[in-house]
Structure formats: C-alpha cells, structure tokens
A = this chain, B = another copy of it.
Amino acid sequence: MTARPKTKRGAARRKKILEAAEAVIGRTGFASSSIAAITQEADTALGTFYIYFSSKEAVFRELLLEMGQLTRRALTDSIREMPNRLEAEREGIRAFLEFVAARPSLYRIVEEARYIDPDAYRAYFSTFAAAYKQRLAAATAAGEIRAGDPEIRAWALMGIAKTLGERYVLWEDNPDIDHVVDEAFRFIRHGLEP
C-alpha cells in the first residue's frame, strides 16, 4: 500500500523516488534492483523510501499503473482528431512507438511484470484490450471497418504494436518510426478496411 503525500514537498519526493525506480528497474531489471540503489539514484536516504512505498513490489505496481495511464493518454491524445477508425489506427501505432522511444524503461517494466506480478500484468493488457475492443466494435457498426471478432482483433493489433516497438524502437539506436508506421499501417489498413 502506498501513502499519498499531503504536502507539495512530499509529492515531489515521492515522484523523485518513482523516477529513480523507473530508471534503476528499467536498467537492471526488478530482481537486481535494490531499494538502496533506488534511493541512491533518487539522492535520498534509504528510510525515505518507506515513507511512500511499503516494498519494492509496491513501487513496481505504481510504475505499472503510471505506464498504463501515460500510454492511454498518449494514445487518446493522438487519435482525438482522427476522422475515422483507420486513421486512428495509424496514429495510434505512431503514438505508441513514439512513447516507447521516449520511455524505453517503462516498456521493459511492463513486460517484466509478467513475472513479478502476473495478475497486474494481465489486468494491464486486459484493460487496454477491453477499451480497444469497444472502439473496434463501434467502428464496425459505423461501417468504417470490416466485420470481425473485435476482441481477437484488438489483441492482434496490440501484438503488432508491442512487437514492432521492441524490434524497431528498443533495439535500434536511430529508429525510423515513420517507415515502420507506414509499412505496418499498409498491412493493417487492408486487413481492416471494408
């Protein structure tokens, strides 16, 4: 359980510890990350950690929640102005790949959750998939995309984004995001268009 700080100074210290945890866990993985390494990275005393988080698992869960919120916000913002579902798919992939480029450690943390906190890992992707499924079902009803099982499609599209993010963003020093988006979307567009 995590205590929410009541003061501005407390909130800032908590945020600093979270950022340090993201950096350390993203760099060396959960198992090799000690709370001492996290507080050292945050330039704070070891005891300060326990004011805000009860354990390494607790700070990890908090990072996972943050990752979910940030990714959803990045995707929602990117597709808000799109005239239809196909355009939204294209800009959604772009936003996701750009998010991976900007926050590579968060990507690694989400994938590592499979082992650290399997329930939170499932919940993380299932929450995404549920919302995605609804948007695909609505787009099918509106005639913007071809009919098909919206849940299976949601997971298939998430799988494309995740895998291209790992291969073409995390593994590359200078990712060519535009090219990956264009090519991935060429395939997805034909796969979905009515």
A interface vs B, CB < 8 Å? 29, 31, 111-112, 114-115, 122, 125, 129, 146, 148-149, 152-153, 155-156, 158-164, 167-168, 171, 179-180, 183-184, 186-188, 190-193
CA distance A111 to B112 in the complex (A): 9
Give the copy number: 2
> In the bound complex, do residue A115 and residue B160 qualify as a contact, i.e. CB atoms below 8 Å apart?
no
CA distance A180 to B151 in the complex (A): 10
> Could you say which of B111, B114, B152, B188 contacts A164, with CB atoms under 8 Å apart?
B152
Provide a sorted-by-A list of 16 A–B residue pairs whose CB atoms are within 8 angstroms. Answer: A31-B31, A115-B115, A125-B167, A148-B183, A149-B179, A149-B183, A152-B168, A152-B184, A153-B187, A155-B168, A156-B163, A156-B164, A156-B184, A159-B164, A190-B192, A191-B191
